[in-house]
Amino acid sequence: MVHFVGAGPGAPDLITMQGVRLLRQADTVIYAGSLVNPALLSYCKDGCTVFNSAELTLEQVIKIYLQEEEQHHMTVRLHTGDPSVYGAIQEQMDALRANSIPFRVTPGVSSFCAAAAALETEYTLPGVSQTVILTRLTGKTPVPERESLSALAAHGASMVIFLSAGMMESLQDALLKGAYTADTPAAIVYKASWPEEKLLRCSVGKLSELAHLHGIRSTALVLAGDFLSSPYERSCLYNPSFTTQYRKGVSTE
Ligand code: SAH
């Protein structure tokens, strides 16, 4: 059996309890060494075999799954954040299915959630934005033209940009081609929940300069949108005048 486990954003206690239980049981762990905090490996039992997926191809990873399965071992593949976001997990699941190897997925706390927590902010503010766009700039993996950053930026929604901290100038330009202005609030969150976490609040027009100043080129998210500072409306759900399935609204006049 193979378990895909979301490791969370970095802090070893931001993995789920299910994730820890599976790590404790695992005979073999393959972890994404470039992003997963190695401190999480302290949950593994003595004698657990550990591989760093950064040094492996998909074919080599699948070979390990097959070998371990033959020995009736349990393998954990530890992905950073949540495996469903830029996790390259689909191709692994399809290969396992093709080889009739059972697997399960345990979700994790994505870095975009950890970034909002660190900034003490909410992406979905009434009267500001009710949409969060998770995206990236084209790198080795191309982004479909219809999803180009400037096209998505036309919505002016709450935006989280992954995997693009090394291309901050293009990122800033693309945002400015959309609905954002140089003054739209923005933030760079480096290594959310790690001891070396950095929170840099700025405006869209200053993103590139600030990233350069702090030497940030990877393991960072860029957040942009009015949710970072605009006035908002209070929620309907918790408004005294709002009737819900559980509570009768009262007139507040
Ligand atoms: N599955 C992961 C994302 C993997 S892609 C998730 O759910 O978070 C790797 C990118 O995620 C990095 O380039 C960076 O943009 C972002 N990232 C991952 N961990 C991060 C962290 N702790 N702080 C800030 N950004 C992070």
pLDDT digits (tens, 9 = 90+) for 150-168: 999 999 999 999 999 999 9
pLDDT tens digits, 165-185? 999 999 999 999 999 999 999
**Interhelix angle for 58-70 vs 90-98, to 10°?**
40
Predicted TM-score (pTM) of the model is: 0.94
pLDDT tens digits, 49-83? 999 999 999 999 999 999 999 999 999 999 999 99
Which domain-ending residue is among 59, 84, 106?
106
Which domain-ending residue is among 67, 84, 106?
106
Does residue 250 fall inside a structural domain?
Answer: no
* Ligand 1 centroid, distance to 146 Cα (angstroms): 23
Same domain, 141 and 81: no
Q: Give the pLDDT of residue 251.
A: 81
* Ligand 1 centroid, distance to 203 Cα (angstroms): 21
Same domain, 87 and 183: no
In ligand 1, the atom with minimum distance to the C-alpha of 110 is 7
Domain containing 82: what range? 2-106
Which of 111, 189, 194, 223 has most ligand 1 atoms within 8 Å of CB, for mutation? 111
* Mean pLDDT rounded to a whole number for the chain: 95
Which domain-ending residue is among 87, 106, 125?
106
Is pLDDT above 90 for 230? no
Percent of the chain with pLDDT over 70: 100
Interatomic CA distance for residues 31 and 214, integer angstroms: 28
Interatomic CA distance for residues 107 and 17, integer angstroms: 11
Same domain, 119 and 146: yes
Same domain, 91 and 135: no
